Structures are given as structure tokens and as C-alpha cells.
Amino acid sequence: MTEPATPIYKRILLKLSGEALMGDDAFGINQATIERMVGEVADVVAKGVEVAVVIGGGNIFRGVAGGSAGMDRATADYMGMLATVMNALALADAMNKQGLTARVMSAIGIEQVVEPYVRPKALQYLEEGKVVVFAAGTGNPFFTTDTAAALRGAEIGAELVLKATKVDGVYTADPMKDPTATRYTHLTFDEAMTQNLGIMDATAFALCRDQKLPIKVFSIVKPGALGRVVCGADEGTLVHA
């Protein structure tokens, strides 16, 4: 199938897990992996799409997770937020090296390192063609980066939240265990909730549903998938109102 050349989305929010940056490594950041992902983002930006990113911190926090056993939940969550800041800096650095202009905005104050999240400033950056990387989740413990993606997507007026995974969509069963599993091309929010498909955590999912903000689940490891998604090709699974 020939990839459509014209994007159907003007502004998107890409939700990247920290684990997506690991490649085949046990934890940390795989440089080849992050460079490949940034290349796909650059291709989308070149099409005129405004891109914001929310990134997780599981790849870095995984390296210290053993030491967090028994730790106060709020303290552990703040450590995870700091891990997302580290990932955001690495992602922005890779973007800048590939010719993009990236700005990191943090939900917690670390002004010597990154600028604080201010909605009007984020909108200005997007309108200028810069990629905005949102770090530190929502800035609050007990809320996931999925919730941060839903929140920031709604705040910036994104037309679509893209949940990047290692699987190319939502399936009727685990495709790694059941070869007969088939991919949903689209689902309504109510259908996904009824079938308990676990696309995002409940808070994030409810926010997207209430704001009528569609979610596209797709594979970030599949070459060219991001570009096909923004051009409306049959890629991944669309969850909509």
C-alpha cells in the first residue's frame, strides 16, 4: 500500500514509554533506537505536523527499582518523574542533532536544567514548528505518564494521542500467545472499556473519552508506522468516541 503523502492531522501528542528507548538493552537508552525514532518524528514534522511528546521513565527507573522496594509511593513516583526528565533531555538532544528544534518543558521545577511547563509557551513553540517534549508527568505522584499524555493532549488541542508500543495495535488476544488473534482497526471508547482491553490506565482513558480525544495505538518499532498513522493509513488501532 502506498503511503498517503498528505497528513490528516495538524497537531499530535506522541506518548513514548521509557522502555521504547531501550532497544534490546536491559535498561537505559539505546542510541541507535532513539536516533531511529527521532528520524521518524523528523519525517512527520517535515510534513507540517506539529508534534508534542510525553515520555515515560521506566527504562531508567528500572535500573534502580530494586532499591525502591518498600519505599514510600510518593517518593518513588517523584524518582520516576526525574527519570522522565533524563529521557526528555536525551530525546531533545537527539532531535536537535537531527535538525529539529526541541524544547523540554517539565511539570516540576528544575529551571537550571529545563524550563517549566507553561501552556501558552508550549502552544507558541508548536506553532513555530518546534517539537515540545513534556517531562515529569503531571507533576503529581499517583498519576501515570499515560494520564499526563491525555492531560497535555487536551490542553494543547491535539487532534490525536498516539500511544507508541511494541505491538502494532490492539488485538482480540495476545498475538504473542495466540496466532489466531486479530487486530482491531478501530474501537469506540465504550467497546474498549466493556472488553477491558487495558489500552491506558483508567484515569487517562476516561479523560480522553470525556474530551473526545481519539487514541491511536501503534508500533513504534515498525519502520514508517508513525508517518503512516498521521497520513491516515490502516496502521494500528484507533479508539474514538
Single-letter amino acid, residue 76? A
The β-bridge partners of 162 are 14, 216
Reading the chain (241 residues) residue by residue, the pLDDT tens digits are: 455 568 999 999 999 998 888 888 877 898 999 999 999 999 999 999 999 999 999 888 765 555 566 788 899 899 999 999 999 999 999 999 999 999 999 999 999 999 999 999 999 999 999 999 999 999 999 999 999 999 999 999 999 999 999 889 999 988 888 989 999 999 999 999 999 898 999 999 999 999 999 999 999 999 999 999 999 999 999 999 9
Buried-state track 20-45, b at ≥16 Cβ within 10 A, e below 16: bbbbeeebbbeeebbeebbebbeebb
In a domain, 3, yes or no: no
d(CA 213, CA 193): 15
In a domain, 137, yes or no: yes
Grid cell for residue 235: 496502521
Query: Among positive and negative, which fits the CA dihedral 23, 25, 76, 110?
Result: negative
d(CA 192, CA 199): 8
pLDDT for the residue numbered 6? 87
d(CA 38, CA 223): 12
Overall number of domains in the chain:
1
Residue 156 has, within 13 A of its CA and on its CB side, a CA count of 34
In a domain, 6, yes or no: no
- The enclosing domain of 233 has a CATH number of 3.40.1160.10
Residue ranges of the annotated binding site for ATP are 15-18, 58, 62, 165, 171, 174
pLDDT for the residue numbered 25? 82
pLDDT for the residue numbered 1? 43
Strands (E), the chain: 11-16, 50-55, 102-106, 115-116, 131-135, 160-165, 186-188, 215-219, 237-240
Buried-state track 98-134, b at ≥16 Cβ within 10 A, e below 16: eebebbbbbbbeeeeebeebeeeebbebbeeebbbbb
d(CA 217, CA 238): 7
In a domain, 53, yes or no: yes
In a domain, 1, yes or no: no
Which domain covers residue 92, as residue numbers?
11-240
In a domain, 22, yes or no: yes
Residue ranges of the annotated binding site for UMP are 57, 77, 138-145
pLDDT for the residue numbered 4? 53
In a domain, 152, yes or no: yes
DSSP-based three-state secondary structure for 152: helix
pLDDT for the residue numbered 68? 60
In a domain, 145, yes or no: yes
d(CA 23, CA 32): 8
Residue ranges of the annotated binding site are 15-18, 57-58, 62, 77, 138-145, 165, 171, 174
The β-bridge partners of 104 are 133
How far apart are the two ends of the chain, measured CA to CA in Å? 27
